[in-house]
Amino acid sequence: MKILIIGGNGTIGKKVAAALSGHDLIIAGRSKADIQVDINEADSITAMFRQLQSVDACICTAGTGYYGEFATTTEDQWMPGIKGKLLGQINLVLIGKDYMTEGGSFTLTSGIAAEQPARNGACVAMINGAINSFVLAAAQELKQDQRINAVSPGLVEDSMERYGALFPGYNPVPMQRVTNGYLLSVLGAVNGQILKVY
């Protein structure tokens, strides 16, 4: 299976890539990747898919959102995450569906914040919730037996050092449980699911 992993060099993405290592993997990112893409830019996404011509599965583990004090936060702080993690992933589907083989799949990444927002995490909570809603809707619209799911990870154990302080009281999730969510989405038959791993 020809599997595109955007963000495949990141904390979660590199473990997803390892779990899918028997397949024809293409790792995409802004740097040090098999193919360069910036999901913030629709033209960049189009150029990537044109170069690849077709894929059997598209996984995205790229993108983030703003964390900061709610009382003083502004639109300017929220826009990069909306443009990147939210619209970037949506554009991967809107553009990528024309390059996706029959029966192929999209797997987006949201996160636990959609349901259990951390303090200072309103932006990320909103983005993750919107991704989940997009997946529910897009699953009804995709043609050619194409499927779409979101993996919604909790705080993964590999990220405790980086993000643990932002999420006091959150239970770290073993990485294998998270990578299994991606395997279920890509290799299984599930469609229109929010695969919660927390």
Ligand X SMILES: NC(=O)c1ccc[n+]([C@@H]2O[C@H](COP(=O)([O-])OP(=O)(O)OC[C@H]3O[C@@H](n4cnc5c(N)ncnc54)[C@H](OP(=O)(O)O)[C@@H]3O)[C@@H](O)[C@H]2O)c1
Q: How many residues does the chain have?
A: 198
Interface with ligand X (CB under 6 A), residue from 3, 5, 12, 194: 12
Q: Which is nearer to ligand X, 139 or 178 (CB)?
A: 178
Contact predicate 146/93, CB 8 Å? no
In the chain the beta strands, taken as DSSP E runs, fall at 2-6, 24-29, 35-36, 55-60, 100-109, 147-153, 194-197
Residue 43's Cβ-count burial label (10 Å; 0-12, 13-18, 19+) is exposed
CB of 102 to ligand X, least distance (A): 26
Footprint on residues 138-177 left by ligand X (CB under 6 A): 153, 155-156, 159, 163
CB of 7 to ligand X, least distance (A): 3
116 is an interface residue for ligand X by CB under 6 A:
no
Q: Which is nearer to ligand X, 36 or 102 (CB)?
A: 36
DSSP state of 116: S
81 is an interface residue for ligand X by CB under 6 A:
no
Angstrom distances, CA of residue 100 to CA of 59, 70, 116, 179: 12, 40, 33, 22
63 is an interface residue for ligand X by CB under 6 A:
yes
Question: Tokens at residue 157, please?
Answer: 């154990």
Q: Which stretch binds ligand X (CB under 6 A): 57-65, 115-123, 142-150, 183-191?
A: 57-65
4 is an interface residue for ligand X by CB under 6 A:
no
CB of 76 to ligand X, least distance (A): 18
